[in-house]
């Protein structure tokens, strides 16, 4: 094992390393690891190294005061003592403190410095690791371990990602640190040269990068439906002298989530239809889609999960207010001689409404579960395509029936248009109707046969010197695909 830990220029001999490891109390064959800094990250990292069998020396400005914060087996000493000998060095201090390390410039010469720092905001300027390398040209700087938090190190790596991204201009140093990461129980990822440290340092600062477009679309759809319902249910009726403000918390929000759920479901499948038309127009599958469409297709998994979220919230809110007073036309009713209305069982429309709503929510949950990586990996492509595509379109059809049955008997009732707008269930049927129509067009034999030929490699025109680009995403990839 000790042969894996070689400094980049002098290749420390196994015997030397073993003697040093035995002297410092670690497992035989383990090199001593030095850590500069005594903060939270340093304490968690030192504990992880000790549990993995590495002798650890921590260089601190005040070793007597900070020694009690470290786990047993960690040698908390001065920086000069911690840097003695041939050791890997973790630099666990902030960027602004790098110049203070210049006092130990000679002790750091010839060593591998592992920079674990992060920035406070995204920028494309010089990375912390590159800055450290410029201060210590006689040392070899490796960027790594910055994506791990102190909590994940101290908690035993339970429930978090084990990937560690490593970059350095020196191949031997990079391999050495990757071996170290493996011995600590991590999965190292080779990111290449030290310039890649800019990207590595940006990883912890990104907030749900793959969700940005989906969340923006969800927010826009939600706000539009909320304002629409607010106008119809509250504002317009208030202008007519009827106070309906008390219905905002549940009733208005319930209708908003209902419209948002089915619209987001449509937004999952619309880019696939557009992709078909783009391939038909281009006469080839080798031409890239427009940037906006390409990003939209990559966001379909997130759009599907947000649709599932809206559906679950809609179902919960519906149960909270489920009563004949809210859903009167779904129940049988009789008028007593005194003029009171007595409600009985659900009518055919009520039972159909509940049936298709329940089925669509259940099947959408199946789609969500099948998007979990462990479930996806256990499925072959045909199974995955069936669940995410064929079953996904069935969910959309069930949701359309659920919505249409709700207002089937009052679809043209004049009272629905009293606010100079159409009812929400009518509005939410427009986009699904357009989507289904486009889907029917793509299923026509004259269209589907051409699409199949294009996807098998046929081209309308074959330029002599065409460079083939990676195959574009297919239309029927998934409702909630990776």
What per-residue confidence (pLDDT) applies to 30? 79
Please provide the DSSP assignment of 141-199 as one string: EEE-STTS-HHHHHTTS-SS--EEEEEES-HHHHHHHHHHHHHTT-EEEE--SGGGHHH
Give the whole-angstrom CA distance, residue 407 versus residue 400. 11
Q: With bands split at pLDDT 50, 70 and 90, how would you rate the model's confidence at 104? A: very high
Q: With bands split at pLDDT 50, 70 and 90, how would you rate the model's confidence at 236? A: confident
pLDDT tens digits, one per residue of 420-471: 899 999 999 999 999 999 999 999 999 999 999 999 999 987 655 555 554 4
pLDDT tens digits, one per residue of 329-371: 889 888 888 878 888 899 999 999 999 999 999 999 999 999 8
Which overall architecture, per CATH, does domain 209-455 show? Up-down Bundle (1.20)
Query: Are residues 261 and 311 in contact, defined by beta-carbon separation less than 8 angstroms?
Result: yes
Query: Are residues 218 and 260 in contact, defined by beta-carbon separation less than 8 angstroms?
Result: yes
Query: Are residues 392 and 223 in contact, defined by beta-carbon separation less than 8 angstroms?
Result: no
Choice among 60-69, 203-212, 305-314 with the minimum mean pLDDT:
203-212
Give the whole-angstrom CA distance, residue 128 versus residue 119. 8
Mean pLDDT of 108-124: 88
pLDDT tens digits, one per residue of 20-77: 443 345 566 678 899 999 999 999 999 999 999 999 999 999 999 999 999 899 999 9
First and final CA of the chain: distance in angstroms? 38
Mean pLDDT of 201-224: 92
Mean pLDDT of 410-415: 79
* Mean pLDDT estimate for the chain: 86
Q: Which residues pair with 334 in a beta bridge?
A: 342
| Rounded alpha-carbon distances, angstroms, from residue 244 to 231, 328, 451 | 11, 18, 52
What per-residue confidence (pLDDT) applies to 260? 97
Mean pLDDT of 389-418: 88
What per-residue confidence (pLDDT) applies to 336? 80
Residue 407 pLDDT exceeds 90 = no
pLDDT tens digits, one per residue of 160-203: 678 899 999 999 999 999 999 999 989 999 999 999 999 999 98
265: left (phi over 0), alpha (psi -120 to 50) or beta: alpha
Q: With bands split at pLDDT 50, 70 and 90, how would you rate the model's confidence at 477? A: very low
Q: Of 97, 92, 94, which is closest to residue 113 (Cα–Cα)? A: 92
Cβ neighbours of 476 (radius 10 Å):
18
Residue 473 pLDDT exceeds 60 = no
The answer, as to whether pTM is greater than 0.85, is no
Within 8 A by CB and 6+ apart from 358, the residues are none
More confident position, 470 or 304: 304
Domain locations in the chain as residue ranges: 2-205, 209-455
**CATH node for 2-205:** 3.40.50.720
What per-residue confidence (pLDDT) applies to 296? 95
Alpha helices in 327-429 (DSSP H): 348-370, 373-377, 381-385, 391-406, 424-427
Among residues of the chain, what percentage have pLDDT more than 70?
A: 88
Residues in the chain: 482
Enclosing H/E stretch for 40: helix 40-51
Give the whole-angstrom CA distance, residue 228 versus residue 134. 58
Q: With bands split at pLDDT 50, 70 and 90, how would you rate the model's confidence at 4? A: low
Q: Residues 19-53, buried b or exposed e (16+ Cβ, 10 A)? A: ebbeebebeebbbbbbbbbbbebbbbbbbbbbebe
What per-residue confidence (pLDDT) applies to 215? 96
What per-residue confidence (pLDDT) applies to 125? 81
Mean pLDDT of 218-224: 98
What per-residue confidence (pLDDT) applies to 303? 96
Do 2-205 and 209-455 have matching folds?
no
Residue 18 pLDDT exceeds 90 = no
Mean pLDDT of 112-125: 86
More confident position, 391 or 248: 391
């Amino acid at each position: 094992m000790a042969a894996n830990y070689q400094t980049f220029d002098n290749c420390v001999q196994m015997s030397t390393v073993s003697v040093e490891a035995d002297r410092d109390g670690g497992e035989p064959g383990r090199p001593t690891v030095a850590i500069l800094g005594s903060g939270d990250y340093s304490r968690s990292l030192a504990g992880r190294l000790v549990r993995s069998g590495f002798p650890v020396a921590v260089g601190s400005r005040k070793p007597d005061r900070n020694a009690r914060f470290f786990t047993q087996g960690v040698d908390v000493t001065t920086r000069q003592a911690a840097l003695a000998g041939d050791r890997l060095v973790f630099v666990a201090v902030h960027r602004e403190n790098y110049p203070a390390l210049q006092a130990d410039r000679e002790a750091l010469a010839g060593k591998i410095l592992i920079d674990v720092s992060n920035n406070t905001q995204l920028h494309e300027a010089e990375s912390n690791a590159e800055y450290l390398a410029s201060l210590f040209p006689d040392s070899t700087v490796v960027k790594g371990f910055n994506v791990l938090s102190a909590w994940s190190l101290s908690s035993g790596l339970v429930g978090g990602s084990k990937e560690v991204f490593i970059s350095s201009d020196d191949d031997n140093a990079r391999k050495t640190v990757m071996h170290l990461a493996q011995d600590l129980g991590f999965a190292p990822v080779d990111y290449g040269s030290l310039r890649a440290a800019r990207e590595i340092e940006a990883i912890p600062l990104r907030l749900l990068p793959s969700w940005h477009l989906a969340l923006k679309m969800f927010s826009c759809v939600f706000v539009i439906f909320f304002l629409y319902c607010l106008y119809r249910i509250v504002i317009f009726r208030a202008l007519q002298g009827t106070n309906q403000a008390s219905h905002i918390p549940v009733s208005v929000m319930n209708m908003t989530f209902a419209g948002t759920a089915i619209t987001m479901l449509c937004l999952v499948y619309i880019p696939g239809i557009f992709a078909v038309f783009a391939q038909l127009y281009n006469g080839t599958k080798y031409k890239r889609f427009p940037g906006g469409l390409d990003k939209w297709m990559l966001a379909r998994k997130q759009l599907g999960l947000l649709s599932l979220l809206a559906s679950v919230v809609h179902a919960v809110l519906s149960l909270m207010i489920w009563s004949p007073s809210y859903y009167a036309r779904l129940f049988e009713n009789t008028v007593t001689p005194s003029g009171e209305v007595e409600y009985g069982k659900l009518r055919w429309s009520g039972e159909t409404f509940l049936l298709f709503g329940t089925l669509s929510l259940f099947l959408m949950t199946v789609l969500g579960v099948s998007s979990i990586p462990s479930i996806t990996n256990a499925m072959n492509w045909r199974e995955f395509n069936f669940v995410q595509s064929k079953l996904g379109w069935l969910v959309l059809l069930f949701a359309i029936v659920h919505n249409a049955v709700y207002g089937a008997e009052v679809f043209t009732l004049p009272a629905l248009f009293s606010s100079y707008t159409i009812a929400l269930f009518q509005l939410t049927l427009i986009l699904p109707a357009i989507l289904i129509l486009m889907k029917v067009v793509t299923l026509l034999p004259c269209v589907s046969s051409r699409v199949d030929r294009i996807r098998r490699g046929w081209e309308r025109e074959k330029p002599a010197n065409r460079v083939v680009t990676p195959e574009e995403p297919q239309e029927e990839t998934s409702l909630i695909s990776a």
